[in-house]
Structure 1
Amino acid sequence: MHFDRRTLVKGVAGLAATATITGTASAADGRTQYIIGANGNGVADAIEAAGFEVRHELADGDVLVAVGPSDAAADIESVKGVKTANPDLKLELDEPEVDAEAAAESAPSDGAALSDLQWDKEITDVFEAHEYATGEGTRVAIVDTGIDLNHPDLGNVNKDLGRAFVVDDDVPEIGPDDSGSHGTHVAGTVGATGESSVVGTAPDTELIPIRVFPANGGASFGDILAGIDYAAEIGADAANFSLGIPGVQQPGSELNKLKAEVQTVFQSAVRRGTVITGSAGNDSGSLQGSGFTLPNSVPAAFTVSATSPADTLSFYSNFGTSDIDIAAPGGWYETIPRTLGEEGAGEPGDIPFPENGVLSTIPVEQGKYGYKSGTSMAAPQVAGLAALVRELEPNANASQVEQAIQKGAEGANGKSDSEFGAGIINALNTVERLSDRK
């Protein structure tokens, strides 16, 4: 299999699961979807009386998602109790353009014990941490493309609690099953059981599949927010969303209009005890100051940057002290030449490409196991660690769980490193600190 610089750069967006904005979100019948900031009881009823269909009531009714005619935001804002109304947007995952046959040849042999290839778990001392906690009695929601419901290493998926929130669903019959592969990979990073080949950070947690993507097309912000709200409703200890808008936005961006409603829903979930882990984005961009991405650039999100097998910031990862809370392995190195193993670019002992990506589960029909890289792969490492913390400290609130993870991190001083936030996670340090308090 041959990977050159052009192939790698072309594939970064897909492998790292950056999303592109594909336009306004709409229902199957063509009506436009709106995200609405509401204030007061009875607003949903008033909006429906005005001729709109309310699909979701979130954060105790403070945020509504409704569909209706296009160019009708002003009509919604005229309803008593409505603060803001903005057309929703769709985000579509870019799929990697890598030869599937060649990729399959480089993947580990089917049925082998593959934990020795999980460098991400080794450098964060996850396996040693399992002497203290495995996530037993906890629940982690995966807000993504769904999860393969028949994967041998994902027998801990709760199919009954799984849900699909998709405004224009082209595969409603699959429910919370995976409409792609991204969600299954994320789920395995969080909680693969090791029954067959790979082990997640919290192998005994319960995984909840929340699908917000159709098979073809994008996820809407409204459906992502509905997924987060549902995760809190069912008492998830953590909810992971490894997706977001591309590029670093500025205050004048149209997307800035959605920040208040994102924060309202996220904060509501956090108050109910759910840690929300989010990927920082894969644009090599600075989030310092006024720059932002969504949904992760709100205070309630626990935002994760991506690191390499050498504990350096991966070349694609966004950064910035105003956004980054923590760092975790996401794969690849700090430069493209080192990632590809070009002569003179690396260090002795470097892991070759593509094995320097994160190995996890993918749908059975796609090969069961595969490598992906990105901040999408970093965030679920933290969601799994949140489950370990909650097993040991079941009464800890979301802020206390985040603080425990930050205090156990390595490689940064305090919480203000622009690349790593409070540092790179270390599962063993985190659980040992909690165990020592008992």
Structure 2
Amino acid sequence: MSRDNSDRTLARRTLLRGAGAIGATLVCTGLASASSGDAQYLVSTSNAKARQRIERAGFTVRHVLAEGSVAVVTGPAGATDELRGIGSVSAVTRDVTVELSPPEVDADASSTPGEDAALRDLQWDKDLIRASEAHEVATGDGSRIAIVDTGIDLDHPDLGNVNEDLGAAFVANDDVPEIGPGDSGYHGTHCAGIAAATGEVGVVGVAPEAELVPIRVFPADGGATFGDILKGIDYAAEIGADVANFSLGIPGVQQPGADLNKLKANVQRVFQSAVRRGTVITGSAGNDSGNLQQGGGFTLPNSVPAVITISATSPADTLSFYSNYGTSDIDVAAPGGWYETIPRTLGETGEPDDIPYPFNGVLSTWPTTLDSSVELPGYDFISGTSMAAPQVAGLVGLVRSLDADLNANQVESVVERGADLTDGKSGYQFGAGRVDAKETLSLVDDT
């Protein structure tokens, strides 16, 4: 596809209904309940006897996480104090339900890629991080990437590296149990392709020979519970995943006194346990243009030390206008799509060689059962920090394929040292910098 704007007329369009309309974010919709109608709780425990004591008290333990230190428990509403009174229980928090908020873009692009277009040529994101050059050194062979999300399209021709047998679904109120780890929406399939599409037909991921494991935590209609999201991360560590990607985060910058802060300790316990077991965790920074470095603000689940938190960059290597930022949270940046302003994204301002909308989003795999907005069945462009995080997950797969013995902290270190655009880990927009796959791999032997 030509990237020359001279033969296009880009219609004036409304890009966003709100900041949460990029890629997909999570909207907190209320307190979590199990399919039985019982309330769901996150329970911190101090020893292995807690589960038996909780069950003897009449509660049900759905998941045991973080090597036994966190339990997802269901029981009557209003039983927080009763649970706290059980021996070996140190803290109790009501779980919450979160739903994906899909993009709401009203656009009418005047042209689409031709029938014979080479889709790799549309993957500007892979050019920026020098993925093709990195593939001369490593392709991810032998590494395992878990996608904790809506599942993955198990029939996509560019996702033939999915391990369906290891795939799992952890969904409290599952309305599509028959699909197992298949995609209940679109988000997980898009993230999976960014990380590790094989390039068999249309697009290539950062680690095209890595193994993908789909871990579905969302029903087709409704929300995921934090308990199930945490179970997905815990399961990724249990099966020895080299990296677990979650492109999920509650929108808005939370303040230290917020109710959601009560969940933070359990998130940290589960994530730190996964990291101890060798699984690197990559997470999206959030799409609220939010400042995470002032006043103790945070987002969940990514604002814990165990996560590599990733901001989103544009085709011009600028911070995408929607991306959260802040030295306290951002570890590295990666291509997520769109430009630093809405007018430049729409082509109303900018440079002559800017990529036109919607092609300045990130192209990746799309469920074959859904329509493509650019009339490319099985592929579509969307943008967000959701798209930035799996770029880094794929890079972790490349690193681990070169040296499987590196621990999670060593992997994060080499990714940060290989990043570009900033001097050291100090940039409030990009952390250590925008990732560079070729440079990162050149540093693995020195780690």
Amino acid at match of 1:266: F
Contact 2:169–2:180 (8 Å) recurs in 1:
yes
How far is 1:433 from its partner? 2.3
Contact 1:113–1:196 (8 Å) recurs in 2:
no
* Equivalent position to 1:36, from 35, 38, 43: 43
Q: In structure 2, what is the Cα distance between the partners aligned to 1:222 and 1:2?
A: 44
User: Residue 432 of structure 1 aligns with which residue?
Assistant: 442
How far is 1:223 from its partner? 0.4
How far is 1:434 from its partner? 2.4
Q: In structure 2, what is the Cα distance between the partners aligned to 1:301 and 1:374?
A: 18
Contact 1:108–1:369 (8 Å) recurs in 2:
no
Amino acid at match of 2:184: S
* Equivalent position to 2:151, from 143, 146, 153: 146
**More deviation, 69-78/206-215:** 69-78
Aligned pairs (5 A) from 1:153-192: 153-192=158-197
Query: CA offsets, 1:338-360, max 9 Å, x none?
Result: 00000xx2012000001000000
**TM-score (structure 2 length as normaliser):** 0.94
Equivalenced residues, count: 432
User: Residue 410 of structure 2 aligns with which residue?
Assistant: 400
User: Residue 374 of structure 2 aligns with which residue?
Assistant: none
Query: CA offsets, 1:245-272, max 9 Å, x none?
Result: 1100001100000111100000000001
Amino acid at match of 1:27: A
Contact 2:44–2:89 (8 Å) recurs in 1:
yes
How far is 1:96 from its partner? 2.2
**Identity across the alignment (%):** 64
Query: CA offsets, 1:332-391, max 9 Å, x none?
Result: 00000000000xx20120000010000000101113000010000000000000000001
**CA separation of 1:88 and 1:108: change in aligned 2, threshold 3 A:** farther
**CA separation of 1:106 and 1:380: change in aligned 2, threshold 3 A:** farther
User: Residue 296 of structure 1 aligns with which residue?
Assistant: 302
SS in 2 for 1:365: coil
User: Residue 198 of structure 1 aligns with which residue?
Assistant: 203
User: Residue 268 of structure 1 aligns with which residue?
Assistant: 273
Q: In structure 1, what is the Cα distance between the partners aligned to 2:423 and 2:84?
A: 46
Aligned pairs (5 A) from 1:9-28: 9-10=16-17, 12-28=19-35
Does 1:360 pair with 2:367?
no
How far is 1:13 from its partner? 2.2
Query: CA offsets, 1:51-101, max 9 Å, x none?
Result: 11100000111000011111111111111011111110111111223469x
Contact 1:107–1:369 (8 Å) recurs in 2:
no
Does 1:86 pair with 2:93?
yes
**TM-score (structure 1 length as normaliser):** 0.96
**CA separation of 1:2 and 1:43: change in aligned 2, threshold 3 A:** farther
**More deviation, 27-36/352-361:** 27-36
CA-based RMSD:
1.6
Q: Greater share of helix residues, 1 or 2?
A: 1
Q: In structure 1, what is the Cα distance between the partners aligned to 2:254 and 2:113?
A: 39
**CA separation of 1:114 and 1:256: change in aligned 2, threshold 3 A:** same
**CA separation of 1:11 and 1:181: change in aligned 2, threshold 3 A:** farther
Contact 1:144–1:210 (8 Å) recurs in 2:
yes
**More deviation, 225-234/109-118:** 109-118
SS in 1 for 2:269: helix
Does 1:60 pair with 2:67?
yes
Q: In structure 2, what is the Cα distance between the partners aligned to 1:107 and 1:189?
A: 21
Amino acid at match of 1:334: E
Q: In structure 1, what is the Cα distance between the partners aligned to 2:115 and 2:407?
A: 40
**CA separation of 1:26 and 1:364: change in aligned 2, threshold 3 A:** same
**CA separation of 1:220 and 1:120: change in aligned 2, threshold 3 A:** same
